[in-house]
Structure 1
Amino acid sequence: TDPFTALTHHLTANSAVPSHAPFFAFETSDGWSPMTRTWFITRCNNIWASVGLPLLTGHCFRIGGTTESSL
């Protein structure tokens, strides 16, 4: 998708997130937390590991790396 469409989708899907929360955030019992690179990569790797897919480093997490992983 193009960046504008992706941004519009993100803002629409997250319309209930308060304006003071980080742009990419998720709700925890302690409030809103930023989605850090480390958290994101760890979460993805946990999901992929659970179905037997190889893990990726942050450096590999790019269009080519994710495309290769999905083939």
Structure 2
Amino acid sequence: MDTQNLINLASGAAIAIGGWFAREIWDSVQALKNDVHALEVDLPKSYVMKEDLDKRMAHIEEMFQRIYDKLDGKVDK
């Protein structure tokens, strides 16, 4: 086998390995994109946004304050 055939064989093998590696990375990135998209879709169903939680907690704190005020009114009588 002459030198040119060895160079062609080695470069062909290197390109094939590089192509396989690039394809594996591409498939992994696509799988991650799909996972992130699924998470974006399911996340609002599982967790509450901070603004919504703040509104609800303010409402609960207001209710507790009214109960506390009523109890103070009962104790003072």
TM-score (norm 2): 0.27
Task: Determine which structure has more spread, i.e. the larger CA radius of gyration.
Answer: 2
Greater helix percent: which structure?
2
Greater relative contact order (Cα < 8 A, sep 6+): 1
TM-score (norm 1): 0.29
